[in-house]
Amino acid sequence: MAITPAEIDNLCFSPSKKGYDTDEVDAFLERCSSEVDAMLQKIADLKGRLTASEQQLAAAQAQIAQLQSQQPAEAAAPVTAPTGLTASETQISKVLIVAQQSADKIVAEARDNAEKIRNDADQKAREVIRQALAEKQSELDEMDRLKESREQFRDQYKALLQHFMDDADNAFSGQLSTSLPTGSAAAAQAAVSAPAAAPAFDADATQLAQPSQLPMSGVDVDDLD
């Protein structure tokens, strides 16, 4: 399938992160399009020259046929000078040889040039397409690599968060089990840790409990027995 300059100009690639620079790719495609267009113009020019050469060859062949058709008439006419017939035949032979050689040379050169230019154009077009496809494949590979890296990072991030959550749960559960005892142990712990209530103050009892404050005058120690 032939590649035209318009197809190269209109060729678009999907953008991706960390891919090739789009301006450089567009500039390269534009340059390739110009070169392919120039090659196609050369091919068209050579085809025109080939057509002109074929027309010249046809004209030469027509002239040869005309000269050959005149030979029987000249042979039938009365010969006035034998040297004239020899000169005519020699001239016709020279014209035939020169015309045939020129035509063959022009046609061969035109065909060789056209074939060479066509091969060069095809080779360059294939190279342009190969490079474009390689760049596109490279961008697709880069996109796949980025997707894979994103998935790996997300999995690692989720695993890290789960690890932190598990550590936090374990640490919090351990603190609760050591600081908050359950059942009777908790009640006993609460009773021990609670401060004791202060006894009620009785002024009369205080006075009775302190004999040093009783009046001792007029009392004999022996009477206490």
Instruction: Convert the pLDDT of each residue in 38-75 to its tens digit.
Output: 888 888 888 888 887 778 777 777 777 777 676 655 44
SS3 31: helix
Q: Which amino acid is at 9?
A: D
**Which residues 6+ apart lie within 8 Å of 118 measured at CB?**
43
Q: Which amino acid is at 213?
A: Q
Q: 35 to each of 9, 47, 110, 119, how far by Cα in Å?
A: 12, 18, 21, 14
Q: Which amino acid is at 36?
A: V
Q: What percentage of the chain exceeds 90 in pLDDT?
A: 2
- Mean pLDDT of the 104-130 span: 82
Q: Is 223 left (phi over 0), alpha (psi -120 to 50) or beta?
A: alpha
Q: Which string of b and e fits 94-121 if b means at least 16 CB within 10 Å? A: eebeebeeebeebeeebeebbeebbeeb
Does residue 137 surpass a pLDDT of 50? yes
Residue of 47 and 22 predicted with greater confidence = 47
Query: What is the distance between the alpha carbons of residues 94 and 92, in angstroms, rounded to a whole number?
Result: 5
Chain length of the chain:
225
Query: What is the distance between the alpha carbons of residues 210 and 93, in angstroms, rounded to a whole number?
Result: 173
Residue with structure tokens 């695993």? 159
Does residue 26 surpass a pLDDT of 70? yes
pTM over cut 0.85: no
pLDDT band at 37 (very low <50, low <70, confident <90, very high): confident
pLDDT band at 212 (very low <50, low <70, confident <90, very high): very low
Does residue 83 surpass a pLDDT of 70? no
Does residue 205 surpass a pLDDT of 80? no
| DSSP secondary structure code for residue 180 in this structure | S
The per-residue pLDDT of the chain, averaged, comes to 70
pLDDT band at 14 (very low <50, low <70, confident <90, very high): low
pLDDT digits (tens, 9 = 90+) for 147-162: 899 999 999 999 998 8
N- to C-terminal Cα distance for the chain? 145
- Mean pLDDT of the 112-121 span: 82
Residue 225's pLDDT is what? 45
Residue 206's pLDDT is what? 44
**Which residues 6+ apart lie within 8 Å of 14 measured at CB?**
139
pLDDT band at 13 (very low <50, low <70, confident <90, very high): low
